[in-house]
A and B are shown apart, each in its own frame.
Chain A
Amino acid sequence: MSVLTNIKRKMFSEQATPYVLLLPAVIMILIVVLFPLIFSLYTSFTGYKLTRPDTLFKIVGFRNYVRIFSDWDFWVAFFRTVGFLAVVINLEFLLGLGIALLINKVTWGQRTMRTIMMFPMMFSPILVGFQFKFIFNDNVGILNNALQALGITDAAIPWLVDGWLAMGAIAFAEIWMSTSIFAILLLAGLFAMPKDPLEAAQVDGCNAWQTFRHITLPFLMPFAYIAMTIRSLDVARAYDVVDTMTGGGPAGRTELLWTLIARTGYDSANMGMANAMAYVSIILSIAFTYYFFSKLVAARRYMGGAQ
């Protein structure tokens, strides 16, 4: 009894409150993320195959890692993923910035356009994948139909069959899905932008480009970094898109790290190996998020001075 009241008192004491409040969140993360990840770290050192449960205890040391690091296909998928992300996120930023500036200029229907921009954000990535699979389909797709109807091409262009075209189509889908986040956040930044520094810059003799480059853009950067941080939490959504559009094909030419993991783990049932790759992908994701988040923190700091 006294132990119970003691525990109760401790729980409600001021110092303990935040820990009690955070307990549910921490437990959730422990069960669903941390424990499984520790477990998968272990399996990445075993020869675990789903089809043969006893292999879970077959420790193979670093063999999985040695194998994936000496595997040409893995490196191709890895660098394709990094390159894909770099290109796609930069394009999303530039396009988002362009759209935000455009809508900021347009005097009529801003709210409607902002609403329209939210449209892709509601789409499930799997739906985006399907949608563009439908549109880029060489036979029934609206794109080829349109090109043929306009007489630009006679033959059906194999959008999702040719390696480079397929990669482009996937990038297009990804950009379509995520540019809105940049546009909306940058637009919010433009709305929040104080007028004084702009006027000060004009008085100081800046032309339009200089004002944009030295005043507007630095002010917008924290907003861009929020978008990038949010975006980098979700980079692996590209898996859904690729999985539906091409499934990593043709012949692995659109294979990204994530589709390779799924294939290795589920299709080949080679869990130990897949988990080793998964760890590489986790580190990649953390690196992206960390990079943008630290930029965000730095950008926030100098923004504080302007207000």
Chain B
Amino acid sequence: MSTQTKSIISWVVTFIVMLIITTPGLWVILSGFRPLQEILAKPAIWIPQRLTLDNFRAIFGIGETQIAIPVLAYFRNSIIIATTSTAIAIIVGISGGYAFARYRFKFKDTLFLGLMLSRTVPGIALSLPVFIVWARLGWIDTQFGLILVYVALNVPFTIWLIDGFFRQIPKELAEAAEVDGCTRWQAFWKIEFPLAKSGIASAGIFAFLTSWNEFALASNLTRSTNSKTLPVGLTDFIAQFTTDWAGMCAMAFIIITPALILTFIVQKHLIAGLTFGGVKG
């Protein structure tokens, strides 16, 4: 086979792979902008005849066709829960990651292993006892209850990533700063923290995506507009016998957009985070 045929083949294969990766999501998003009749049409209408914002109007309760799904409240809950839990997980993660990267202490390996293992507990398995305990404490269907769970869910991974990043920074830098007149605290904030920023950012994105997208726990710990998040809200569209495809597609668009925007802004950090934390950690 000549080099040219080879390269043509690899181009074609690459193109098909990219198509498989992008088509399903794009098709769903596109459908969010199509009227329901067109989606359901038989035989299928391939080229959209008409693009419309009706589906969005409907789920936000604007215009004639209204759907009794409080998407706005879900959206607000999702934002509050995801950002708050991410912020806390990052603070806890910096603190813990720093401890693992910089100190030697008894039970270090055991503690690290314990934290990581806590992350392996499947959400649905964890949801059962948390559900019972939260119910007793009155935390079911509260934003607080879900935030707490998401912080715990994210802490092991943020610690793992941030630990890896702090380890990249030579210990001598903080020592030099201390000799230069810094307290340990100053040395951390002026030298080590700025250098670990990109790692912390990537840990933050992962934490945010996890909280934003989580379903197994949220679906069992939330009940109403008090705390229901977007992924849980998506299932509202599935009524007993019918599925509102158009509405769901519009909702999917709403869920994916913030995650997409955020990820594209910091994608460099994401890849660095994934590789760094792991290989050298």
Contacts and interface: CB of A to CB of B under 8 A. Distances in A.
B125 interface: yes
B129 A124 contact: no
A225 to B, nearest CB: 8
A22 interface: yes
Interface string A106-121: 1000000111111111
B125 A261 contact: yes
Contacts of A134: 27-28, 31, 245, 248-249
Interface string A1-45: 000000000000001011101101110110111111101100100
B279 A239 contact: no
Nearest to B218: A126
Given A176-B21, A188-B271, A223-B279, A39 B245 contact: no
Given A25-B92, A116-B21, A271 B132 contact: yes
Interface stretch (A68-76, A142-150, A158-166, A196-204): A142-150
Interface residues of A, number: 93
Interface residues of B, number: 87
Nearest to B94: A21
Contact of A31 (B7, B152, B159, B234): B152
B215 A126 contact: yes
Interface in B237-281: 245, 248-249, 252, 255-256, 259-260, 263-264, 267, 270-271, 274-275, 278-279
A131 B24 contact: yes
Given A124-B255, A188-B271, A28 B21 contact: no
B199 interface: no
B155 A25 contact: yes
Interface string B210-250: 00111110001000000000010011000000000100110
Contact of B20 (A15, A113, A176, A289): A176
Given A29-B155, A39-B129, A140-B40, A262 B124 contact: yes
Given A126-B235, A262-B220, 6 more contacts: A28-B148, A124-B255, A135-B27, A192-B275, A266-B220, A275-B128
Interface of B: 7, 10-11, 13-14, 17-18, 20-22, 24-25, 27-28, 31, 39-40, 43-44, 46, 91-93, 95-96, 98-100, 102-103, 105, 108, 111, 114-126, 128-130, 132-133, 148-149, 151-153, 155-157, 159, 209, 212-216, 220, 231, 234-235, 245, 248-249, 252, 255-256, 259-260, 263-264, 267, 270-271, 274-275, 278-279
21 contacts: A22-B99, A26-B111, A29-B115, A33-B121, A33-B152, A40-B129, A102-B17, A116-B21, A123-B259, A126-B215, A127-B255, A135-B27, A145-B43, A148-B44, A176-B24, A192-B279, A222-B278, A230-B274, A239-B124, A278-B128, A282-B120
